[in-house]
A and B are shown apart, each in its own frame.
Chain A
Amino acid sequence: NAGVTQTPKFQVLKTGQSMTLQCAQDMNHNSMYWYRQDPGMGLRLIYYSASEGTTDKGEVPNGYNVSRLNKREFSLRLESAAPSQTSVYFCASSENYGSYNEQFFGPGTRLTVL
């Protein structure tokens, strides 16, 4: 039982390049989330998927797109990376929408945009 896995762990991009961050969970959770963490700040929600087939914007969605590929996988895409997107990205999942369940976090991806 690996929990929440993210790939890659580290990535360096040049401004304007694109990339997709991958996230998968093996806990059969319905809801999945993408957060970013900037220095000196807490995590901020980028996008979330309450259930398979649905996605919604969070606090800081600009410059990102997401795909809930299936129940297990939730990817985050940067179409044209900018230095302001340099951050650590966390994926999380939880069991049910609308009731308390702990969010489980992946190990994070450190992204640097030059």
Chain B
Amino acid sequence: AQTVTQSQPEMSVQEAETVTLSCTYDTSESDYYLFWYKQPPSRQMILVIRQEAYKQQNATENRFSVNFQKAAKSFSLKISDSQLGDAAMYFCAYRRTKGAQKLVFGQGTRLTINP
């Protein structure tokens, strides 16, 4: 079974600084998707960024980028120019390419932005 691990329960960063959230996963599949979701206090789950495993190029979305290391099974999220609105729980998630679109989530990292 696939597993996703986020080893940082909490992180904090100064506003306008850069922060990196870590995620590792375990799978025997060669093709899959990885995601970062943001959950603000409203509880709404918001997709931040996704990465297809077959792509070597790291995904970027504005201030958000990932460092995808397939051999190491590592998938970190970098947030540049942190803003107060970035404060939230962040979840790393995995999904197989084939079959049902079941997401496997990590435990989450609570990110605090200090003004």
Contact = CB atoms under 8 A, between A and B. Distances in A.
Interface string A23-57: 00000000101010000111111001010000010
Interface string B76-102: 000000000000000101000111111
A58 B49 CA distance: 24
Interface residues of B, number: 25
A108 B52 contact: no
A107 B47 contact: no
Secondary structure dominating the interface of B: loop
A100 B105 CA distance: 17
Interface stretch (B13-21, B37-45, B66-74): B37-45
Contacts, number: 61
B103 A45 contact: yes
Contact of B102 (A48, A100, A101): A48
Given A42-B91, A42-B108, A94 B101 contact: yes
Nearest to B105: A42
B107 to A, nearest CB: 5
B33 interface: yes
A99 to B, nearest CB: 8
Interface of B: 4, 6, 9, 33, 42-45, 47, 50, 52, 91, 93, 97-108
30 contacts: A31-B101, A33-B102, A35-B103, A40-B9, A40-B107, A42-B91, A42-B105, A42-B106, A42-B108, A43-B91, A45-B102, A48-B100, A50-B100, A56-B100, A59-B104, A88-B43, A94-B101, A97-B100, A98-B98, A98-B99, A98-B101, A100-B50, A100-B101, A102-B50, A103-B101, A103-B103, A105-B44, A105-B45, A107-B44, A108-B43
Interface of A: 31, 33, 35, 40-45, 48, 50, 56, 58-59, 88, 90, 92, 94, 97-98, 100-103, 105, 107-108
